Amino acid sequence: MANVVVVGAQWGDEGKGKLVDWLSEQADTVVRFQGGHNAGHTLVIGDKVYKLSLLPSGVVRPGKLAIIGNGVVLDPYALVAEVEKLKGQGVAISRDNLRVADNVPLILSVHRELDALRESGASGTKIGTTKRGIGPAYEDKVGRRAIRLMDLAEPDSLRDKVERLLAHHNALRRGLDLPEFKADDIHAELTAIADRVLPYMDTVWQLLDEERRAGKRILFEGAQGALLDIDHGTYPFVTSSNTVAGQAATGSGMGPGQVGYVLGIAKAYTTRVGEGPFPTEQDNEIGALIGERGHEFGTVTGRKRRCGWFDAVLVRQTVRTSGIHGIALTKLDILDGFKEIKVCVRYRLDGVEIDHLPASQSAQARVEPVYETIDGWEGTTAGARSWADLPAQAIKYVRRIEELIGAPVALVSTSPERQDTILVQNPFET
C-alpha cells in the first residue's frame, strides 16, 4: 500500500493537520479531494505556524507536489489570497508545486450570498455552515450548471455559461424578493481572477496516474470528518460533500484500487462545531474543562467547539464506512488527571439498546449514550514518544478503544508538536 488516505473519524477538528504534515514529509504528492475553504487546519513546523483552509498541507514543504482535485469546490479569490499569505511567510508556490484540476467547480459571489441568506434566515434548519458558499456550489455542480476552472480558459463561451447559471439563481432571488445578479458582473468577477489561477490548472487524473506509475507516494488529505459526510453523516447537519475515504478516488480521478491504506484520525474524546446531534456531549464543567485544556476553537470560524466523552459507537461506524485500516488517536494528554473517564459503548433508543447511530434525524436526537467507566491515570502523557512513557492506565484506555472500534491504533499523538507521536504502524510502510 504505497498510498495513504487520511480522513477524520469524528466530526472534524481531530488534529489532522499535524498527522498529515508528518505523513507529507514521507510523501511525494499531497491531494485534497473534497470540501473547500471551509476546512481549516493548522500546521506547526519549527517556529512557524501555517493556517490553511484550501491548499493541501504538502504545499508548505519544499519538493512536494500539492494537488487540488476535482472533488473540491474552489473559490478562486480564496485560493489567490491563501497563496499570497503563504508567500508572505516565505513559502514558494508556483506551478512547480501546485496543480488544480481543470474540472474543479468554482465558488462565486452568488454562492456565498445564498449560503449566508439561508444560514441567517429565520425559517428552515440552521446547519451551522461557514457561509462560504460551499453548499450552493456543490448544488450547482450536481445541477450541471457549475462554472468550472477550465471555463475560464474559454472566454468565448464563458458568458453563455454564466447566463445558464443565473437562470437558476435569479429565479431564487426573485422568490426571495432580492435584486437579480447581472451576467456582466459575474463575468467580470471571473475574468478578473482568471490569469491568477489558470497557471495552476492541469488534468489531475492523468497527472496522478503518472505519479503512481512512477512509484511516487501519494497522500490523500481529507477535510472535515466522516460524520459530516453528505450520505453517511448526521444528515442534515452535515457538509455538502462526501468525506468518507471512498471520495479520495472519486474526488481525484484515481482508481479505487490504487488508494491504499486508510488512516482515520480521532481525538481521545469527542468534539463538534455547529448544530446537530451529539450523544456524548458534556454541556457542563467536564465539557468546559476538556474544551479549555484542548483549546477547542475552530481554525476557520473561531467558534467554540462542543465537547464530550469518546463515542466508540460513532468511530466504529466510521471505521466501517471508510474502510479504516488504523486510527491515529490524538490529544490523549487532554485527559491527564481525570479520575474517571467515560466511553460510550452503545446507545439506548426508546428503551432498547442499539450498536449504531440510526440514520433518522429524530432517532439521532433521541439516542442516549450507554457508558463504560474507565479509571483515569496520574502523571502525564504530554510529550510521550513511546509506550514506555505512558502511564499503564493510559495504555489500558487506548487498548480498550481499539477493542471497541474494531481497528488498531496506528499512532498516538500526545501534543501539538509533531515529534510527540508514538508510532505503532507507519501507514506508508504497511
Each residue's pLDDT tens digit, 134-166: 999 999 999 999 999 999 999 999 999 999 999
3-state secondary structure of 12: coil
Q: Provide the percentage of residues in the chain whose pLDDT is more than 90.
A: 82
What nine digits make up the cell of 130?
461557514
> Are the C-beta atoms of 82 and 115 separated by less than 8 Å?
no
Whole-model pTM?
A: 0.93
> Which pLDDT value is given to residue 127?
61
Q: How confident is the model at residue 297 (pLDDT cuts 50, 70, 90)?
A: confident
Q: How confident is the model at residue 129 (pLDDT cuts 50, 70, 90)?
A: low
Q: Tens digit of pLDDT for each residue in 357-416?
A: 999 999 999 999 999 999 999 989 999 999 999 999 999 999 999 999 999 999 999 988
Say if residue 388 is exposed, middle or buried (CB neighbours under 10 Å; 0-12, 13-18, 19+): exposed
Has residue 299 got a pLDDT over 70?
no
Q: Of 199, 221, 189, which is closest to residue 64 (Cα–Cα)?
A: 221
> Are the C-beta atoms of 168 and 145 separated by less than 8 Å?
yes
Q: How confident is the model at residue 419 (pLDDT cuts 50, 70, 90)?
A: confident
d(CA 178, CA 410) in angstroms, rounded, equals 53
| Extended beta strands in 279-339, E state | 306-308, 310-311, 326-330
Average pLDDT in the 325-329 region?
97
Q: How many CA atoms lie within 13 A of 90 on its CB side?
A: 7
* Given the residues 37, 41, 232, 325, the one annotated as active site: 41
> Which pLDDT value is given to residue 324?
97
What nine digits make up the cell of 183?
451576467
d(CA 205, CA 331) in angstroms, rounded, equals 35
Q: Where are the alpha helices (DSSP H) in 236-360?
A: 247-250, 285-294, 312-321
d(CA 59, CA 174) in angstroms, rounded, equals 42
User: What backbone phi and psi angles, to 5 degrees, belong to 342?
Assistant: -105, 145
For residue 56, cis peptide bond before it (omega within 30 degrees of 0): no
Q: How confident is the model at residue 242 (pLDDT cuts 50, 70, 90)?
A: very high
d(CA 418, CA 218) in angstroms, rounded, equals 20
Work out the number of other CB atoms within 10 angstroms of the CB of residue 214: 8
Average pLDDT in the 168-177 region?
94
Beta bridge partners of 272: 306
**For residue 221, is it left (φ>0), alpha (ψ between -120 and 50) or beta?**
beta
> Are the C-beta atoms of 207 and 67 separated by less than 8 Å?
yes
d(CA 39, CA 32) in angstroms, rounded, equals 11
Work out the number of other CB atoms within 10 angstroms of the CB of residue 241: 30
* Given the residues 13, 75, 151, 333, the one annotated as active site: 13
111 is catalytic: no
User: What backbone phi and psi angles, to 5 degrees, belong to 233?
Assistant: -95, -170
47 is catalytic: no
d(CA 50, CA 57) in angstroms, rounded, equals 9
Q: Which residue has the cell 487532554?
A: 334
d(CA 64, CA 96) in angstroms, rounded, equals 9
Q: How many CA atoms lie within 13 A of 186 on its CB side?
A: 26
Helices 155-175 and 183-197, packing angle to 10 deg = 130
What nine digits make up the cell of 217?
507516494
Has residue 125 got a pLDDT over 60?
no
Q: Of 416, 421, 399, 393, which is closest to residue 294 (Cα–Cα)?
A: 416
